[in-house]
Copies of this chain bind each other. A is one copy, B any other.
Amino acid sequence: MDSIDQTIIEKLSRDSRTHCTEIASELGVATSTVHKRVNQLYNDGVIEQFTIILDPKKTGMPLTTFIGINVDENYKAEIIAKLKSLKNVLEVYEILQPYDIFIKVRTSDMSELKDSVLRVLDNTDGVISSSSIITTIRHKERTCVLGDQ
């Protein structure tokens, strides 16, 4: 993870379609060097995924909900596994307080939120309680911290 890797990550974060040739010419190194670095970063798991960010409204998934979940410690692992497998659950974290698990969910509407996640929580052993934070407006959504602006 030297400055070359840093620059590659920076460029790909902003636009993952950026050509190796472009990055290489800015860095003053060979295209094949950048190419191999990118592959290395991917194989090392530094870059987990090349993906896109969609406009949730324009793709029919406008409802973003964060949910804090209190669970029985003995069931935590399997609850997390189940949550991870749900397609509407985009993110799953363990936290310290005031819940045990915290997730981010994206659905088309409130009824899909209920059907795909809330009902599942209700019917899962070890779930003690859950508390939903329903978002109304999405002002910013990025995947990683970028240098400068």
Pick the most buried of A83, A87, A140: most chain B CB atoms within 10 A of its CB.
A140
In angstroms, Cα B61 to Cα A97, docked, is: 21
A133 touching B92 by the CB < 8 A rule?
no
Q: Are A13 and B54 in contact (CB under 8 A)?
A: yes
Q: Mark A115-149, 1 if CB is under 8 A from B, else 0.
A: 00000000000000000011111111111111111
- The count of chain A contact residues (Cβ–Cβ below 8 Å) is 63
How many angstroms between the C-alpha atoms of A116 and B138 in the bound complex? 21
Considering the complex, give the chain B residue whose CB is closest to the CB of A138: B93
In the bound complex, do residue A15 and residue B90 qualify as a contact, i.e. CB atoms below 8 Å apart? no
Contacts of A64 in B (CB 8 A): 93
Other A-B pairs beyond A12-B51, A99-B133, 5, CB < 8 Å: A14-B49, A16-B50, A48-B141, A87-B149, A96-B136
